[in-house]
Structure 1
């Protein structure tokens, strides 16, 4: 499955010297620079890698849908992935997948039972985000350790 392959690739990048250097730069940029890390080049490389992955995702989306329309850039479509990532956990490579699964499950179940599904879904998502600031994956990672 493409999602599993993406998560495996992301874990490989995070565990690579490139990923560790990115993390070191995020945690303490001045210390990383003092150790000889070219922060500008590293940030530029990270930007290019992220843009390439986003472009590939957009190309796959367009291929699977057959075409793209401006409606795909409207707020609900743009906010959903962000909510999924926040729900699953920003700091975990598997967080977005967990968040997307939980979001779609909640969306599917709630829309069956009420006409006010957006309000109910929003309230549940707010409670989940407030209860789990590191996301669901962050809680699961904390329990494993």
Structure 2
């Protein structure tokens, strides 16, 4: 930890920053057919920056909570529970998202042809060399 603060206010600010950045990232993903600032470089930069902030803020939040628990007298038990709760959170997210992605059409591409709507897209050609298939453009 470069800056090991023990303030719950800083933990809350970091978590809030991660939530806000995550909301922006999910909002742009939900509008992926016509994302905001679609044809501008700043739009791509903002999306990448938002996801970097999500990872940074939430990683800092988890590390700071671990640092705070490490200072407590019964740190072993607290850190074991912290690790267990963190893993249960990951499992819960995976169990929620897996059926949504796999069994619904919530995340289906809006096109069947990857070249549809693209000016510079060429037809994919299958080439067989020594019994191995290669896709070429």
Measured against the shorter chain, the TM-score band is 0.3 to 0.5
More helix per residue: 1 or 2? 1
TM-score (norm 2): 0.35
More strand per residue: 1 or 2? 2
